[in-house]
Protein backbone atom coordinates (compact mmCIF):
# COMPACT_ATOMS: atom_id res chain seq x y z
CA UNK A 1 0.00 0.00 0.00
CA UNK A 2 2.88 2.36 0.85
CA UNK A 3 4.52 1.59 -2.50
CA UNK A 4 1.35 2.34 -4.48
CA UNK A 5 0.68 5.56 -2.56
CA UNK A 6 4.28 6.75 -2.90
CA UNK A 7 4.23 5.99 -6.63
CA UNK A 8 0.95 7.84 -7.22
CA UNK A 9 2.14 10.79 -5.11
CA UNK A 10 5.43 11.02 -7.01
CA UNK A 11 3.89 10.69 -10.48
CA UNK A 12 0.98 13.00 -9.67
CA UNK A 13 3.24 15.72 -8.25
CA UNK A 14 5.80 15.62 -11.07
CA UNK A 15 3.16 15.49 -13.81
CA UNK A 16 1.35 18.42 -12.17
CA UNK A 17 4.58 20.45 -12.08
CA UNK A 18 5.36 19.61 -15.71
CA UNK A 19 1.92 20.62 -16.97
CA UNK A 20 1.91 23.68 -14.70
CA UNK A 21 5.02 24.81 -16.57
CA UNK A 22 3.12 24.64 -19.87
CA UNK A 23 0.07 26.31 -18.31
CA UNK A 24 2.00 29.19 -16.72
CA UNK A 25 4.00 29.83 -19.89
CA UNK A 26 0.79 29.87 -21.95
CA UNK A 27 -0.72 32.44 -19.60
CA UNK A 28 2.37 34.68 -19.81
CA UNK A 29 1.98 35.00 -23.59
CA UNK A 30 -1.82 35.30 -23.57
CA UNK A 31 -2.85 31.86 -24.83
CA UNK A 32 -6.29 30.68 -23.69
CA UNK A 33 -6.14 27.33 -21.82
CA UNK A 34 -9.25 25.18 -22.10
CA UNK A 35 -8.26 22.26 -19.86
CA UNK A 36 -5.55 21.27 -17.37
CA UNK A 37 -5.64 17.52 -16.73
CA UNK A 38 -3.57 15.34 -14.43
CA UNK A 39 -4.12 11.81 -15.75
CA UNK A 40 -6.04 10.42 -18.68
CA UNK A 41 -9.40 8.71 -19.11
CA UNK A 42 -12.64 9.26 -17.19
CA UNK A 43 -12.79 12.32 -14.93
CA UNK A 44 -12.69 11.72 -11.19
CA UNK A 45 -12.84 15.37 -10.18
CA UNK A 46 -13.39 18.42 -12.39
CA UNK A 47 -14.09 22.11 -11.88
CA UNK A 48 -13.89 25.28 -13.96
CA UNK A 49 -12.18 28.48 -12.83
CA UNK A 50 -13.31 32.04 -13.55
CA UNK A 51 -11.10 32.22 -16.67
CA UNK A 52 -12.93 29.23 -18.19
CA UNK A 53 -10.16 26.66 -17.73
CA UNK A 54 -11.38 23.21 -16.70
CA UNK A 55 -9.17 21.52 -14.06
CA UNK A 56 -9.37 17.73 -14.16
CA UNK A 57 -8.11 14.83 -12.08
CA UNK A 58 -8.53 11.73 -14.27
CA UNK A 59 -8.57 8.01 -13.55
CA UNK A 60 -5.23 6.99 -15.11
CA UNK A 61 -2.49 9.03 -13.38
CA UNK A 62 0.41 8.12 -15.72
CA UNK A 63 0.65 11.47 -17.47
CA UNK A 64 -1.35 14.59 -18.10
CA UNK A 65 -1.90 17.41 -20.58
CA UNK A 66 -2.77 21.08 -21.02
CA UNK A 67 -5.28 21.74 -23.80
CA UNK A 68 -4.87 25.19 -25.36
CA UNK A 69 -7.24 26.83 -27.81
CA UNK A 70 -5.99 26.35 -31.35
CA UNK A 71 -8.11 28.37 -33.74
CA UNK A 72 -6.89 26.41 -36.77
CA UNK A 73 -7.99 23.10 -35.27
CA UNK A 74 -10.96 24.01 -33.09
CA UNK A 75 -12.83 26.51 -35.22
CA UNK A 76 -15.33 28.34 -32.97
CA UNK A 77 -13.69 30.24 -30.13
CA UNK A 78 -14.57 29.42 -26.49
CA UNK A 79 -16.87 31.95 -24.85
CA UNK A 80 -14.15 33.47 -22.62
CA UNK A 81 -11.37 33.42 -25.20
CA UNK A 82 -10.23 36.85 -26.39
CA UNK A 83 -9.19 37.56 -29.99
CA UNK A 84 -5.62 36.47 -30.69
CA UNK A 85 -5.48 34.16 -27.67
CA UNK A 86 -5.20 30.94 -29.69
CA UNK A 87 -1.92 28.99 -29.73
CA UNK A 88 -1.43 29.04 -33.53
CA UNK A 89 -1.55 32.84 -33.75
CA UNK A 90 1.39 33.33 -31.40
CA UNK A 91 4.94 33.94 -32.55
CA UNK A 92 7.41 31.09 -32.94
CA UNK A 93 9.29 32.30 -29.87
CA UNK A 94 6.12 32.33 -27.75
CA UNK A 95 5.06 28.86 -28.87
CA UNK A 96 8.54 27.46 -28.22
CA UNK A 97 8.52 29.03 -24.75
CA UNK A 98 5.25 27.26 -23.95
CA UNK A 99 6.66 23.92 -25.14
CA UNK A 100 9.99 24.11 -23.31
CA UNK A 101 8.49 25.38 -20.04
CA UNK A 102 7.21 21.95 -18.97
CA UNK A 103 10.57 20.12 -19.02
CA UNK A 104 12.25 23.26 -17.66
CA UNK A 105 10.05 23.20 -14.55
CA UNK A 106 10.99 19.55 -13.98
CA UNK A 107 14.69 20.41 -14.13
CA UNK A 108 14.23 23.45 -11.86
CA UNK A 109 12.32 21.35 -9.33
CA UNK A 110 15.15 18.79 -9.31
CA UNK A 111 17.72 21.53 -8.70
CA UNK A 112 15.61 22.88 -5.81
CA UNK A 113 15.22 19.37 -4.35
CA UNK A 114 18.96 18.70 -4.51
CA UNK A 115 19.64 22.15 -3.04
CA UNK A 116 17.35 21.45 -0.09
CA UNK A 117 19.05 18.10 0.52
CA UNK A 118 22.47 19.78 0.53
CA UNK A 119 21.29 22.43 3.00
CA UNK A 120 19.58 19.97 5.33
CA UNK A 121 22.65 17.75 5.31
CA UNK A 122 23.09 14.05 6.01
CA UNK A 123 25.57 11.61 7.47
CA UNK A 124 27.55 9.45 5.05
CA UNK A 125 30.51 7.04 5.31
CA UNK A 126 33.88 8.77 5.38
CA UNK A 127 36.08 8.24 2.27
CA UNK A 128 38.25 5.68 4.08
CA UNK A 129 38.63 2.39 2.23
CA UNK A 130 38.52 -1.21 3.39
CA UNK A 131 41.47 -3.43 2.55
CA UNK A 132 40.62 -4.41 -1.06
CA UNK A 133 40.58 -8.02 -2.18
CA UNK A 134 43.76 -9.30 -3.80
CA UNK A 135 43.92 -8.76 -7.58
CA UNK A 136 40.92 -6.41 -7.55
CA UNK A 137 41.35 -3.16 -9.53
CA UNK A 138 41.56 -1.26 -6.24
CA UNK A 139 44.37 -3.52 -4.99
CA UNK A 140 46.20 -3.36 -8.33
CA UNK A 141 45.97 0.44 -8.21
CA UNK A 142 47.84 0.35 -4.89
CA UNK A 143 45.01 1.12 -2.47
CA UNK A 144 45.43 -0.22 1.05
CA UNK A 145 43.15 -0.56 4.04
CA UNK A 146 42.57 2.71 5.98
CA UNK A 147 43.63 4.86 3.01
CA UNK A 148 41.61 8.09 2.93
CA UNK A 149 40.61 9.31 -0.53
CA UNK A 150 41.24 13.06 -0.74
CA UNK A 151 40.55 13.77 -4.41
CA UNK A 152 39.05 12.04 -7.44
CA UNK A 153 40.29 13.44 -10.75
CA UNK A 154 41.29 16.64 -8.98
CA UNK A 155 37.93 17.11 -7.21
CA UNK A 156 37.99 17.28 -3.41
CA UNK A 157 36.13 14.41 -1.76
CA UNK A 158 34.26 14.63 1.54
CA UNK A 159 32.45 11.28 1.73
CA UNK A 160 32.53 7.78 0.25
CA UNK A 161 29.20 8.52 -1.43
CA UNK A 162 30.93 11.19 -3.52
CA UNK A 163 33.52 8.62 -4.60
CA UNK A 164 30.74 6.23 -5.67
CA UNK A 165 28.90 8.98 -7.58
CA UNK A 166 32.02 9.93 -9.52
CA UNK A 167 32.82 6.32 -10.43
CA UNK A 168 29.18 5.49 -11.24
CA UNK A 169 29.07 8.41 -13.69
CA UNK A 170 32.01 6.87 -15.52
CA UNK A 171 30.50 3.37 -15.44
CA UNK A 172 27.23 4.61 -16.94
CA UNK A 173 28.71 7.08 -19.39
CA UNK A 174 31.66 5.04 -20.68
CA UNK A 175 31.21 1.48 -19.45
CA UNK A 176 34.68 1.58 -17.96
CA UNK A 177 36.33 3.37 -15.06
CA UNK A 178 39.63 5.20 -15.38
CA UNK A 179 40.21 7.75 -12.65
CA UNK A 180 43.06 9.43 -10.78
CA UNK A 181 42.94 9.16 -6.98
CA UNK A 182 44.78 11.24 -4.41
CA UNK A 183 44.93 9.28 -1.15
CA UNK A 184 46.40 9.71 2.31
CA UNK A 185 47.67 6.50 3.90
CA UNK A 186 47.40 5.58 7.57
CA UNK A 187 51.14 6.32 7.76
CA UNK A 188 50.48 9.95 6.83
CA UNK A 189 52.01 9.63 3.35
CA UNK A 190 50.11 11.05 0.35
CA UNK A 191 50.04 9.04 -2.89
CA UNK A 192 48.71 9.46 -6.44
CA UNK A 193 47.06 6.33 -7.85
CA UNK A 194 45.35 5.35 -11.10
CA UNK A 195 42.23 3.18 -10.74
CA UNK A 196 41.31 1.28 -13.91
CA UNK A 197 38.29 -1.01 -14.37
CA UNK A 198 38.01 -2.27 -17.97
CA UNK A 199 34.62 -2.35 -19.66
CA UNK A 200 32.77 -5.63 -19.36
CA UNK A 201 32.47 -7.83 -22.43
CA UNK A 202 28.79 -8.26 -21.54
CA UNK A 203 26.56 -5.35 -22.53
CA UNK A 204 23.94 -6.47 -20.03
CA UNK A 205 26.19 -5.77 -17.05
CA UNK A 206 24.59 -3.34 -14.64
CA UNK A 207 26.72 -0.19 -14.03
CA UNK A 208 26.41 -1.00 -10.32
CA UNK A 209 28.13 -4.33 -11.06
CA UNK A 210 30.93 -2.44 -12.82
CA UNK A 211 31.26 -0.32 -9.70
CA UNK A 212 31.35 -3.44 -7.50
CA UNK A 213 34.21 -4.84 -9.59
CA UNK A 214 36.46 -2.00 -8.40
CA UNK A 215 36.85 -3.72 -5.02
CA UNK A 216 36.28 -0.40 -3.23
CA UNK A 217 34.29 -0.36 0.01
CA UNK A 218 34.20 1.97 3.02
CA UNK A 219 36.29 0.74 5.93
CA UNK A 220 34.25 -1.13 8.51
CA UNK A 221 35.40 -0.80 12.11
CA UNK A 222 32.82 -3.13 13.60
CA UNK A 223 29.34 -4.53 12.97
CA UNK A 224 26.22 -2.59 13.96
CA UNK A 225 22.80 -4.18 14.57
CA UNK A 226 20.19 -2.48 12.38
CA UNK A 227 17.13 -4.54 13.38
CA UNK A 228 16.09 -7.41 15.62
CA UNK A 229 13.38 -9.83 14.45
CA UNK A 230 10.53 -10.51 16.88
CA UNK A 231 10.77 -13.91 18.60
CA UNK A 232 14.33 -14.45 17.40
CA UNK A 233 17.28 -15.68 19.53
CA UNK A 234 18.64 -12.13 19.38
CA UNK A 235 15.46 -10.66 20.90
CA UNK A 236 15.39 -13.27 23.65
CA UNK A 237 19.02 -12.49 24.46
CA UNK A 238 18.26 -8.77 24.81
CA UNK A 239 20.02 -7.47 21.70
CA UNK A 240 18.76 -4.11 20.43
CA UNK A 241 19.16 -2.08 17.23
CA UNK A 242 22.10 0.30 17.48
CA UNK A 243 24.36 -2.00 19.48
CA UNK A 244 27.80 -2.55 17.96
CA UNK A 245 29.25 -6.07 17.80
CA UNK A 246 33.01 -6.09 18.37
CA UNK A 247 33.71 -9.82 18.46
CA UNK A 248 32.35 -13.36 18.35
CA UNK A 249 33.68 -16.20 20.54
CA UNK A 250 36.67 -14.10 21.49
CA UNK A 251 37.62 -13.24 17.88
CA UNK A 252 37.33 -9.63 16.69
CA UNK A 253 34.92 -9.04 13.81
CA UNK A 254 34.93 -5.82 11.79
CA UNK A 255 32.62 -6.68 8.88
CA UNK A 256 29.12 -8.21 8.67
CA UNK A 257 30.32 -11.04 6.41
CA UNK A 258 32.88 -12.10 9.05
CA UNK A 259 30.15 -12.52 11.68
CA UNK A 260 27.83 -14.32 9.26
CA UNK A 261 30.66 -16.68 8.33
CA UNK A 262 31.37 -17.51 11.99
CA UNK A 263 27.67 -18.27 12.66
CA UNK A 264 27.55 -20.61 9.65
CA UNK A 265 30.81 -22.32 10.61
CA UNK A 266 29.40 -22.96 14.08
CA UNK A 267 26.64 -25.08 12.49
CA UNK A 268 24.11 -23.94 15.09
CA UNK A 269 26.36 -24.12 18.16
CA UNK A 270 25.92 -21.37 20.80
CA UNK A 271 27.91 -18.22 20.09
CA UNK A 272 29.13 -15.49 22.43
CA UNK A 273 29.01 -11.93 21.12
CA UNK A 274 30.90 -8.98 22.55
CA UNK A 275 28.71 -5.89 22.18
CA UNK A 276 28.93 -2.24 23.17
CA UNK A 277 26.79 0.89 23.05
CA UNK A 278 28.11 4.01 21.32
CA UNK A 279 27.92 7.66 22.39
CA UNK A 280 28.31 9.22 18.95
CA UNK A 281 26.58 8.01 15.81
CA UNK A 282 29.22 9.70 13.65
CA UNK A 283 32.35 8.22 15.19
CA UNK A 284 30.87 5.10 16.89
CA UNK A 285 32.78 6.07 20.05
CA UNK A 286 32.30 3.50 22.81
CA UNK A 287 30.06 4.45 25.72
CA UNK A 288 31.93 3.68 28.98
CA UNK A 289 30.62 0.78 31.03
CA UNK A 290 28.41 -0.68 28.32
CA UNK A 291 30.66 -3.43 26.96
CA UNK A 292 29.28 -6.86 27.72
CA UNK A 293 29.23 -10.46 26.49
CA UNK A 294 25.97 -12.06 25.38
CA UNK A 295 25.60 -15.77 24.71
CA UNK A 296 22.83 -16.96 22.37
CA UNK A 297 21.93 -20.11 20.48
CA UNK A 298 21.11 -19.67 16.75
CA UNK A 299 17.78 -20.90 15.42
CA UNK A 300 17.32 -22.80 12.17
CA UNK A 301 15.46 -21.24 9.26
CA UNK A 302 13.34 -23.14 6.72
CA UNK A 303 16.47 -24.21 4.83
CA UNK A 304 18.18 -25.46 7.97
CA UNK A 305 20.75 -22.64 8.13
CA UNK A 306 21.56 -21.13 11.55
CA UNK A 307 20.21 -17.61 12.10
CA UNK A 308 20.50 -15.10 14.95
CA UNK A 309 17.54 -12.98 13.78
CA UNK A 310 19.38 -9.67 13.37
CA UNK A 311 20.03 -7.27 10.53
CA UNK A 312 23.65 -6.15 10.20
CA UNK A 313 25.51 -3.24 8.68
CA UNK A 314 29.10 -2.07 8.62
CA UNK A 315 29.96 0.37 11.41
CA UNK A 316 31.94 2.88 9.37
CA UNK A 317 33.32 6.25 10.35
CA UNK A 318 30.70 8.79 9.36
CA UNK A 319 30.91 12.41 8.26
CA UNK A 320 28.15 15.01 8.21
CA UNK A 321 27.66 16.85 4.93
CA UNK A 322 25.86 20.18 5.09
CA UNK A 323 26.28 23.25 2.88
CA UNK A 324 25.31 26.91 3.12
CA UNK A 325 22.72 28.36 0.78
CA UNK A 326 24.98 29.47 -2.07
CA UNK A 327 27.13 26.32 -2.02
CA UNK A 328 24.00 24.15 -1.76
CA UNK A 329 22.41 25.98 -4.71
CA UNK A 330 25.50 25.35 -6.82
CA UNK A 331 25.59 21.68 -5.76
CA UNK A 332 21.88 21.35 -6.61
CA UNK A 333 22.35 22.76 -10.10
CA UNK A 334 25.50 20.68 -10.65
CA UNK A 335 23.78 17.44 -9.56
CA UNK A 336 20.86 18.21 -11.92
CA UNK A 337 23.22 18.81 -14.86
CA UNK A 338 25.25 15.68 -14.10
CA UNK A 339 22.13 13.52 -13.76
CA UNK A 340 20.70 14.85 -17.05
CA UNK A 341 24.05 14.23 -18.74
CA UNK A 342 24.10 10.65 -17.42
CA UNK A 343 20.58 10.02 -18.72
CA UNK A 344 21.54 11.18 -22.21
CA UNK A 345 24.78 9.16 -22.21
CA UNK A 346 22.94 6.03 -21.06
CA UNK A 347 20.35 6.46 -23.84
CA UNK A 348 23.12 6.93 -26.38
CA UNK A 349 24.93 3.78 -25.24
CA UNK A 350 21.67 1.81 -25.43
CA UNK A 351 21.16 2.96 -29.02
CA UNK A 352 24.72 1.87 -29.86
CA UNK A 353 24.21 -1.51 -28.17
CA UNK A 354 26.88 -0.82 -25.52
CA UNK A 355 24.36 -0.82 -22.67
CA UNK A 356 21.53 -3.29 -22.28
CA UNK A 357 17.95 -2.07 -22.67
CA UNK A 358 17.29 -3.98 -19.45
CA UNK A 359 18.58 -0.88 -17.65
CA UNK A 360 15.30 0.84 -18.59
CA UNK A 361 12.87 1.30 -15.74
CA UNK A 362 9.16 0.77 -16.28
CA UNK A 363 6.25 1.64 -13.97
CA UNK A 364 6.85 -1.36 -11.68
CA UNK A 365 10.52 -0.48 -11.13
CA UNK A 366 9.69 3.17 -10.52
CA UNK A 367 6.93 2.20 -8.08
CA UNK A 368 9.27 -0.14 -6.24
CA UNK A 369 11.92 2.59 -5.99
CA UNK A 370 9.28 5.06 -4.78
CA UNK A 371 8.19 2.68 -2.03
CA UNK A 372 11.75 1.93 -0.92
CA UNK A 373 12.75 5.59 -0.83
CA UNK A 374 9.62 6.54 1.11
CA UNK A 375 10.38 3.77 3.63
CA UNK A 376 13.79 5.38 4.26
CA UNK A 377 12.24 8.72 5.15
CA UNK A 378 11.28 12.06 3.59
CA UNK A 379 14.85 13.00 2.58
CA UNK A 380 15.32 9.78 0.61
CA UNK A 381 11.94 10.32 -1.04
CA UNK A 382 12.86 13.91 -1.94
CA UNK A 383 16.08 12.62 -3.54
CA UNK A 384 14.01 10.10 -5.51
CA UNK A 385 11.66 12.86 -6.69
CA UNK A 386 14.64 14.88 -7.87
CA UNK A 387 16.07 11.99 -9.89
CA UNK A 388 12.72 11.13 -11.51
CA UNK A 389 12.02 14.79 -12.24
CA UNK A 390 15.31 15.04 -14.16
CA UNK A 391 14.38 11.90 -16.10
CA UNK A 392 10.98 13.35 -17.02
CA UNK A 393 12.55 16.61 -18.13
CA UNK A 394 15.22 14.92 -20.24
CA UNK A 395 12.82 12.37 -21.77
CA UNK A 396 10.38 15.08 -22.82
CA UNK A 397 13.14 17.05 -24.53
CA UNK A 398 14.07 14.16 -26.83
CA UNK A 399 13.41 15.16 -30.47
CA UNK A 400 10.56 12.69 -30.94
CA UNK A 401 7.18 13.81 -32.30
CA UNK A 402 4.45 13.72 -29.61
CA UNK A 403 7.07 14.76 -27.01
CA UNK A 404 7.94 18.37 -26.20
CA UNK A 405 11.29 17.88 -27.94
CA UNK A 406 9.45 16.84 -31.11
CA UNK A 407 7.47 20.08 -31.11
CA UNK A 408 10.69 22.02 -30.66
CA UNK A 409 12.13 20.12 -33.62
CA UNK A 410 9.16 21.20 -35.75
CA UNK A 411 9.68 24.77 -34.54
CA UNK A 412 13.34 24.57 -35.53
CA UNK A 413 12.44 23.59 -39.10
CA UNK A 414 9.80 26.32 -39.14
CA UNK A 415 12.50 28.82 -38.16
CA UNK A 416 14.79 27.54 -40.93
CA UNK A 417 12.06 27.50 -43.61
CA UNK A 418 10.24 30.64 -42.50
CA UNK A 419 6.94 28.72 -42.39
CA UNK A 420 5.61 25.56 -40.67
CA UNK A 421 6.27 22.12 -42.07
CA UNK A 422 3.50 20.74 -44.33
CA UNK A 423 0.66 19.03 -42.49
CA UNK A 424 1.43 15.72 -44.22
CA UNK A 425 5.00 15.79 -42.96
CA UNK A 426 3.87 16.60 -39.43
CA UNK A 427 1.31 13.77 -39.46
CA UNK A 428 3.95 11.30 -40.70
CA UNK A 429 6.27 12.45 -37.93
CA UNK A 430 3.52 11.95 -35.36
CA UNK A 431 3.02 8.36 -36.52
CA UNK A 432 6.76 7.66 -36.37
CA UNK A 433 6.97 9.24 -32.92
CA UNK A 434 4.04 7.21 -31.66
CA UNK A 435 5.64 3.99 -32.91
CA UNK A 436 8.96 4.82 -31.22
CA UNK A 437 7.29 5.75 -27.93
CA UNK A 438 5.24 2.54 -27.97
CA UNK A 439 8.41 0.52 -28.64
CA UNK A 440 10.18 2.28 -25.76
CA UNK A 441 7.21 1.59 -23.48
CA UNK A 442 7.15 -2.10 -24.41
CA UNK A 443 10.91 -2.39 -23.73
CA UNK A 444 10.49 -0.73 -20.33
CA UNK A 445 7.61 -3.06 -19.41
CA UNK A 446 9.62 -6.09 -20.58
CA UNK A 447 12.56 -4.89 -18.49
CA UNK A 448 10.26 -4.75 -15.46
CA UNK A 449 9.03 -8.29 -16.10
CA UNK A 450 12.57 -9.65 -16.41
CA UNK A 451 13.75 -7.69 -13.36
CA UNK A 452 10.99 -8.95 -11.06
CA UNK A 453 10.10 -12.36 -12.50
CA UNK A 454 13.19 -13.40 -14.45
CA UNK A 455 13.22 -14.86 -17.97
CA UNK A 456 10.25 -16.94 -19.08
Give per-10-residue mean pLDDT for the chain (456 aa).
Answer: 80 92 93 90 89 88 85 61 81 94 96 95 88 90 91 91 90 86 91 88 69 87 85 85 85 84 80 81 68 85 79 84 92 94 84 72 77 83 93 91 90 91 88 86 76 54
User: Which of these is catalytic: 19, 124, 130, 219?
Assistant: 19
- pLDDT given at position 201: 64
Q: Say whether 19 is catalytic.
A: yes
- pLDDT given at position 456: 43
Q: What pTM did the predictor assign? A: 0.81
Give how far Cα 137 sits from Cα of 83, 141, 143, 152, 181, Å.
68, 6, 9, 16, 13
What's the per-residue H, E or C state across 149-214? EEEECCEECCCHHHHHHHHHHHHHHHCCEEEEEEEECCCCCEEEEEEEECCCCCCCCCHHHHHHCC
Amino acid sequence: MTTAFSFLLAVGLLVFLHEMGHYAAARTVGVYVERFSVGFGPKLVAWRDRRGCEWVLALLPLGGYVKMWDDAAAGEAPALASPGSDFASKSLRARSWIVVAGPLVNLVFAAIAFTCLAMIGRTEPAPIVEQPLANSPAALAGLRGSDRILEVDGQAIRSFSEVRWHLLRQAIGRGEIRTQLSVLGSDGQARELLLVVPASTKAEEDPEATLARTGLAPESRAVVITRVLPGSPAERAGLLPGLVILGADGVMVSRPDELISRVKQGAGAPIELEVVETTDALSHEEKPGTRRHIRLEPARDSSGSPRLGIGLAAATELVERRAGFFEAAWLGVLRTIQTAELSLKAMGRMLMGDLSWRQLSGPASIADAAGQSAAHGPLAFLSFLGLVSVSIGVLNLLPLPLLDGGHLLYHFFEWIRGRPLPEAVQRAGQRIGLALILALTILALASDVLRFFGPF
